[in-house]
Structures are given as C-alpha cells and as structure tokens.
C-alpha cells in the first residue's frame, strides 16, 4: 500500500532505462514537478547509463537509482511501482521528455476531480529532432470527465493505449494489483491500460501535449517494421487481450467486454496487419481461429453501437465496412494484398 508518511512526495515518476546514457539527463531535466521523487530503474544497461544517473543523484537528492538484471520494460516498471511512495505515478521512457509546467496542471486536475487517471496528449518527434522545453503554463486546456467504473472502456474511444501519457493514482494500481505482465515484451501497455481502465471510477481526459515521444531511435529496436516484428506484434496483442480478460474476470466479472473486442480486432487483426507480416491466407484464417477461441471473433455489428461511436451515417458505415472486411477475409484478401503491394 501507499506509504502514509507525511513526508512522502505527491508524485512518483518512474523511468525504466536500458542503454540510454546519452539522453537520460535530458529526460531527468524535463521533470519539473516540485513535490516529486524520480525513480530510475536501470534494467541491466550495458552502457554507462547507471554512472550518469549516479552523478545526477549526487546533486538531485529526489532522484533514486535502482539497478536490476535485464528483464524488460515490464519488470522495470513493476519494480518502480513497488518502490513508489507518491500519491500519483507517472511513467516516462528514458529517451523521451516532458514539456515544462504541464505536470503541475495535471496533478491539480487529479486532485480537483479525485481522479484515478488523468490522460494527456503525446507530441511525436523524429529521433533526431532537437529538445525544446516548451512551457504549457498558458495552454488553453479542454477537459472531459468520465465517471463510473469502467465507463472509459465502454464509451470513450481510447485509441492510444500508452502508459506514458497519464497520471495514475497509486492506490488504484496497488489495491487492485494492476501490473505489467512480464511475458509481454510488446503490447505491454495494452494489457496494463485495459486492466486499469476496468477498475478506474474517475477518468479525466485532456488535450495537453505534455509528453514528447521520439517515434524512432537507435536506442530501441521496437520501431523496426520487420516481418518478424509484425508477427510478434499480432501474437503479443492476442496474449495481451488474454491477460485483460483474465484480470477483468477476476476484478469486475459483470463488466461488458465488447468494446475491447471491437477495438482490438480493428487495431490488430486486420488484413493490412497480416499482409505486413506476410501472412498467407491460410495463416490469417488460423489467426482468426485463435481469436474465435477467445470469443473475440467474429465481430457483431451491434458492437459498433455498444462502443459508443458516432451514429452519423458516414462514420457508422465506415465501421460497418471495416467489420465486414474483418469478418470476411477470403473476400478481400487478394485485392487488399494487391493494393498494399502497389503502395510499397
């Protein structure tokens, strides 16, 4: 449980680090919340990142370094959660950074609405883009509040299942044992967020572009678009949804699950994803059988309405067409394969 010590910080910032020595100080310098602790979890880095952080700690006592053998980002974040003392938690990747004056506004919203989570926006950058510490002090903020357990899952189309663009209430994570699944090296955010949203009762969504995310970098191989990675992504996605189903069944068995099914199939199990992975039609049908075993395929057209999407004719028919394509791969496989081969 959360440390009840009156000297505990209001915010814990957890930074998993693996071979990010050249950029970790940039990340640390961007965290400007006055009442926070920063926990850097060194996940068995082979460079001198730990030494760089140790030097930083010497002049920044609110920063802690935890060293562990390499086990992946999920185990690193879990260790950070275990050691977090703050009322709220924020995750930041070591090769990204935050804009200035934004955390104060997000924590203020969390306190104002007693939120389990406050979501903000990601600003995507190319890996060689310069670091600019823009101030968000005067940014005109739009806020949406979603109340009621799991309502965000059923009525809000959250297409970005990242954990780095949110403030989490620590007690909601710990009392419900929400954690990262260590058998997932891709899509680990999806399983965590699906579990967290299922137990969250107060969700605040904003448009503040607080998080600066480098979309490709030599520090990480996860941005590779190789065929092998595409296949791993699809299988990891299936494993992630199994984890979400198991968690939801244990913590809130009465929760309606169709939103998860529709979002997942729209996002991962599409003709385009399978073609990128160079699936044959036989392999694709086998993949759909795996989804059928999980009761997430075929899609029911009624799920489009359950998901809370716009009932306007054009977007509704677009969802209907997408559902038709997913449910009938043999009818669209060859023309789709020809179309995407021409776009290469």
Q: What is the pLDDT of residues 275-320, one digit of tens each?
A: 667 777 788 778 778 878 877 777 776 666 555 445 556 667 777 7
Least confident range from 92-106, 107-121, 227-241: namely 227-241
Mean pLDDT value across the chain: 82
* For residue 332, pLDDT beyond 70: no
Mean pLDDT along residues 197-217: 88
Mean pLDDT along residues 93-97: 95
Instruction: Tell me which DSSP letter residue 217 carries.
Output: -
How confident is residue 44, by pLDDT bands cut at 50, 70 and 90?
A: very high
- Beta strand 166-169 with 117-119 is antiparallel
Instruction: Tell me which DSSP letter residue 293 carries.
Output: H
Using DSSP, state whether 160 is helix, strand or coil. coil
Q: Give CA–CA dist 243/240, Å, rounded.
A: 5
Q: Give CA–CA dist 189/3, Å, rounded.
A: 25
How confident is residue 23, by pLDDT bands cut at 50, 70 and 90?
A: very high
* For residue 258, pLDDT beyond 80: no
64: its two tokens: 């802690």
Kindly report the pTM of this predicted structure: 0.84
Mean pLDDT along residues 42-68: 97
| Cis peptide upstream of residue 65 (ω within 30 degrees of 0) | no
Q: Give CA–CA dist 235/28, Å, rounded.
A: 34
What pLDDT does residue 295 have?
A: 73
All domains in the chain, ordered by first residue: 11-214 (3.90.550.10), 227-343 (no CATH)
Q: What is the pLDDT of residues 209-249, one digit of tens each?
A: 999 998 865 444 333 456 777 778 778 878 888 888 888 88
Least confident range from 16-30, 61-75, 168-182, 222-236: namely 222-236
Mean pLDDT along residues 198-212: 92
Specify whether the CB–CB gap between 15 and 41 falls below 8 A: yes
Specify whether the CB–CB gap between 133 and 100 falls below 8 A: yes
* For residue 200, pLDDT beyond 50: yes
What pLDDT does residue 236 have?
A: 83
């Amino acid at each position: 449980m959360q440390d009840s010590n009156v000297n505990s910080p209001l915010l814990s910032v957890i930074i998993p680090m693996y071979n990010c020595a050249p950029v970790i100080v940039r990340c640390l310098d961007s965290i400007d919340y006055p009442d926070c602790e920063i926990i850097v979890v060194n996940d068995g880095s082979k460079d001198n990142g730990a030494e760089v952080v140790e030097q930083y700690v010497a002049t920044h006592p609110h920063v802690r370094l935890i060293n562990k053998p390499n086990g992946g980002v999920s185990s690193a974040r879990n260790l950070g959660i275990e050691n977090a003392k703050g009322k709220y938690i924020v995750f930041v990747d070591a090769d990204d950074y935050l804009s200035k004056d934004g955390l104060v506004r997000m924590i203020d919203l969390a306190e104002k609405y007693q939120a389990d989570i406050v979501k903000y926006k990601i600003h995507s950058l190319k890996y060689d883009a310069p670091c600019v510490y823009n101030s968000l002090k005067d940014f005109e903020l739009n806020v949406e509040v979603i109340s009621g357990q799991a309502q965000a899952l059923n009525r809000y189309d959250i297409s970005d299942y990242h954990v780095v663009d949110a403030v989490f209430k620590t007690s909601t994570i710990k009392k419900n044992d929400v954690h990262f699944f260590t058998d997932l090296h891709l899509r680990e955010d999806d399983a965590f967020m699906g579990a967290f949203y299922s137990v969250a009762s107060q969700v605040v969504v904003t448009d503040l572009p607080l998080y600066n995310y480098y979309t490709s970098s030599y520090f990480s191989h996860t941005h590779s678009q190789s065929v092998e990675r595409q296949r791993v992504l699809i299988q990891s996605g299936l494993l992630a949804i199994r984890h979400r189903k198991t968690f939801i069944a244990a913590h809130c068995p009465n929760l309606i699950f169709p939103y998860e099914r529709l979002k997942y199939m729209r996002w991962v199990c599409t003709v385009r994803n399978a073609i990128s992975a160079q699936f044959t039609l036989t392999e694709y049908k086998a993949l759909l059988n795996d989804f059928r075993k999980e009761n997430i395929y075929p899609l029911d057209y009624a799920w489009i309405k359950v998901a809370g999407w716009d009932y306007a004719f054009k977007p509704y028919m677009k969802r209907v067409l997408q559902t038709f394509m997913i449910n009938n791969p043999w009818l669209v496989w060859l023309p789709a394969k020809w179309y995407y081969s021409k776009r290469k």
